[in-house]
Amino acid sequence: MAVIVAITSCPTGIAHTFMAAEGLQRGAESLGHTIKVETQGSVGAENTLTAADIAAAEVVIIAADTKVDLSRFAGKRVYETNTKAAIHDGVGVIKAALEQARIKTSAAAQSNLVDQVAAAKAARAASIAGPYKHLMTGVSYMLPFVVAGGLLIALAFAFGGIYVYEETNRGSLGWALFQIGAPSAFALMVPILAGFIAFSIADRPGLAPGMIGGMLASATGSGFLGGILAGFIAGYATLWLNQNLNLPKTLAGLKPVLILPLLSSLFVGLLMIYVIGQPVSSALNALTAWLKSMEQSSALILGLILGAMMAFDMGGPVNKAAYTFATGLLASQVTTPMAAVMAAGMTPPLGLALATLLFKDRFSAEEREAGKAAAVLGISFITEGAIPFAAKDPFRVIPSIMVGSAVAGALSMVFGATLAVPHGGIFVLPIPNAVGNLPMYIVAILAGTLVTAAMLYVLKRPLGTLETPTTATASGTAD
């Protein structure tokens, strides 16, 4: 019997984080091992690993889609994977960790050339997943600023009207709320995004160059697109300098706090001012103008695409690409894609929950019980609530939820619904000015839910035998 510790983390820190933890716990238990899992979720770390836990562990598993600090695991055998693997095959991850985990060297040991070469090879091997993980790290740190800023702006409009930001309203509560939300919280959005992309790539030395590049992206008008570029440039430039700049031992202490941030900031700053800023600003302005001037036909197409993307992998890379696109546009005051994305993200679990209620002969007792949880996750805009159903019957469930989400996204765009915040589900709907054209937005969500349920009725066949309520209850209790 092995003693294992683990950390799980996803960009939003909500669903995948805890589902991955559950997958690892079940996998370890089925193999006869003991495990303690620290979840780094939206409210911070829970079930935190102590020094004693780490010292007693034979292997450390990191199942994360974001950057996780590994400094406390120096000298331990560490195995890294993503949350998807832990959710779908916890047993396989446990087995792979016990066989393939490698010793995590200390920061001092990594300073020699041999370890640098090994680290470079490992980075190249993970190059496919690397950029996505770095981007999601930036997004995860950016989200609280967008949520807080968006809600404060909505409340400012509720208290002071749509012209609350004008000088004639200076000193009022609405004006104060707007100052906190727009010029403050929203202004930090791009620098935070860029800074933590760079942090994910190059650790702490990349943070300052990334944030400086993000500030310059905002200053040059290149927005979130420029911020993403600045983060990657700053991160990889810092990483390259760290691996190739050899200094005497007397100057080694200055490298992470002075030399790397200075040189990287200089490099990314000059690129943003003289090379990248203006072209990306022009591209972002063109995109913003197109989105604001869309006719119903083009809005319909964009809504269909964004909606289908949200349901395709339920929190995976395609889903997060659509979500990141919509979230980034909030800084440019383009809020219709965000509304479409949230509507489309809510409908998969909501549609499945409705289908388990209406068409019980097509779902097992376990699935009908899971439908209750899916309903709660759906109203909270946690698309991952559909994953258990899709994993069991992907060829029927995934097309069904994609059609429903495409309908929800398309209707939201056609109705011109807007959303000022990137999360919250139905809990942000009552907030004044958080949602534009609220009645029709609710219609879009309901329509997507109904279409999802109808598609499931058409595609899924009735089960041979419908369990009795007693069996269903026993099954749900056992699970």
* Burial class, 256, CB count within 10 angstroms (exposed 0-12 / middle 13-18 / buried 19+): middle
CA dist., res. 366 & res. 50, Å (int): 36
CB proximity list for 189: less than 8 A, separation 6 or greater = 142, 145, 146, 149, 224, 330, 331
pLDDT of residue 127: 44
**Are the C-beta atoms of 270 and 234 separated by less than 8 Å?**
no
Give the CA dihedral 65, 315, 28, 372, nearest 10 degrees.
150
Q: Is the pLDDT of residue 62 over 70?
A: yes
pLDDT of residue 464: 67
Q: Is the pLDDT of residue 59 over 90?
A: yes
**Are the C-beta atoms of 123 and 134 separated by less than 8 Å?**
no
**Are the C-beta atoms of 67 and 129 separated by less than 8 Å?**
no
pLDDT of residue 171: 86
Mean pLDDT computed over every residue of the chain: 84
pLDDT band at 443 (very low <50, low <70, confident <90, very high): very high
pLDDT of residue 13: 63
Residue 461's φ and ψ, nearest 5 degrees, are -90, 150
Q: Is the pLDDT of residue 471 over 50?
A: no
| E strand or H helix at 3 | strand 3-9
pLDDT band at 105 (very low <50, low <70, confident <90, very high): low
pLDDT tens, residue by residue, 385-427: 888 888 788 889 999 999 999 999 999 999 999 998 887 788 8
Other beta carbons less than 10 A from residue 459's beta carbon? 15
Q: Is the pLDDT of residue 109 over 80?
A: no
Query: Closest Cα to residue 369, out of 381, 378, 357, 358?
Result: 357
The more confidently predicted of residues 327 and 163 is: 327
Query: Closest Cα to residue 52, out of 3, 92, 86, 100?
Result: 3
**Chain position carrying tokens 């598609």:** 455
pLDDT band at 71 (very low <50, low <70, confident <90, very high): confident
pLDDT of residue 72: 87
Percentage of the residues of the chain whose pLDDT score is greater than 90: 37
Q: Which domains does the chain possess?
A: 3-104 (3.40.50.2300), 129-292 (no CATH), 296-478 (no CATH)
| Residues acting as catalytic residues | 10
CA dist., res. 280 & res. 290, Å (int): 15
Whether the predicted model's global pTM rises above the 0.85 cut: no
**Chain position carrying tokens 């303690």:** 36
Please give the structure tokens belonging to residue 111: 């300073």
Bridge partners (DSSP) of residue 4 are: 35, 59
Please give the structure tokens belonging to residue 394: 């992907």
Q: Is the pLDDT of residue 467 over 90?
A: no
Find the mean pLDDT for residues 241-252. 81
**Are the C-beta atoms of 97 and 79 separated by less than 8 Å?**
yes
pLDDT of residue 387: 82
CA dist., res. 73 & res. 81, Å (int): 16
* Burial class, 274, CB count within 10 angstroms (exposed 0-12 / middle 13-18 / buried 19+): exposed
